[in-house]
Amino acid sequence: MTCQHSLLFLFLSGFAALYVAEICKTNLLEGTSCTFELPTKNTDKSNEIKWVHLSGDAVIHRKNRWMRKNIPGLKMEEDGSLTFESVSLKNSGRYTYTVFNKEGTQIDAGEKEIKVYANAPKPTVKINCTFGNATLTCDFGDRTDLTVSWYKEDNIIQYENNPKLLLTSAQVQENKLYSCIVSNPVSKEQSDSITVSCEGVPDPTGESVPGPRKNLFGPDFWVMVSILAGGGTLLLLLICILIICACRSCSQLKKAQTR
């Protein structure tokens, strides 16, 4: 064998080793390739080996070196292990295996289980305001395999698998960022963070919800009092001047009449 052929053989051998499917875990992401291994290696092809999917109708059966039944996407290895080329949601469930020797005596049996999940979608947060209070809804479609958790800024505030979060008017006025995360055992996604505002949103009576009320005796109030007080003083001064002028005019008129 030449040097080039040796290098090519080593490369292909290494590539084949990398391509070996992993051992199936209980929770799997859709599209994963993995293998159910038998506790004991059964390399004697004269043994009878049967895999049955209890949650479906898949049966893979090998006896006397011949495959009795093949299922697309499933493959029985030389040692009797079962390989999934790309798991799908329908592959979820329990699988039983049974192994017999040449004499027909059962030498091994057991059960394995997998749960296949799709990737979690990116959720969106919807806001509904009522009388200044807000109800946030984490929308992720009709998926039933997802758990919901709520975050305020970067801190988790609710982990009750509830797609709704209720905020009081005081919490709304804090102007904090809120987001939700949906997850399953193999993936998770977070929504964009939003600031909740209910100003100008009509309540069920048809009236707009006012914004935060300002303090009655805040700085603006005292500025207004100062302006009114100054204006009142100026008006009083003008009235006094007019009265004095009127009195002087009357006095001068009387003096002119007596002459």
| Domains detected in the chain | 19-117 (2.60.40.10), 124-195 (2.60.40.10)
Tell me if the pTM is above 0.85.
Answer: no
Q: Provide the 3-class DSSP secondary structure of residue 245.
A: helix
What is the number of helices (H) and of strands (E) in the chain? 3, 18
Q: Which of 32-36, 140-144, 197-201 has the lowest mean pLDDT?
A: 197-201
pLDDT value for 161: 82
Tell me the sheet residues that pair with 181. Answer: 149, 190
Residue 34 amino acid letter = C
- 248 confidence band (pLDDT: 50, 70, 90): confident
The b/e string for 195-231 (b: 16+ C-beta within 10 A; e otherwise) is ebebeeeeeeeeeebeeeeeeeeeeeeeeeeeeeeee
Q: What does the pLDDT average to over 67-85?
A: 87
pLDDT of residue 223: 66
Q: Minimal CA–CA distance to 148: which of 194, 177, 120, 181?
A: 181
Q: Using the predicted structure, report yes or no on whether residue 139 has a pLDDT greater than 60.
A: yes
- Is the pLDDT score of 108 beyond 60? yes
Measured from the Cβ of residue 257, the count of other Cβ atoms closer than 10 Å reads 7
Confidence at residue 68, expressed as pLDDT on a 0 to 100 scale: 74
Say whether pLDDT at 213 is over 60.
Answer: no
Give the pLDDT band (50/70/90) at residue 54. very high
Q: Is the pLDDT of residue 103 over 80?
A: yes
CB 51 within 8 A of CB 95: yes
At residue 182, what is the residue type? V
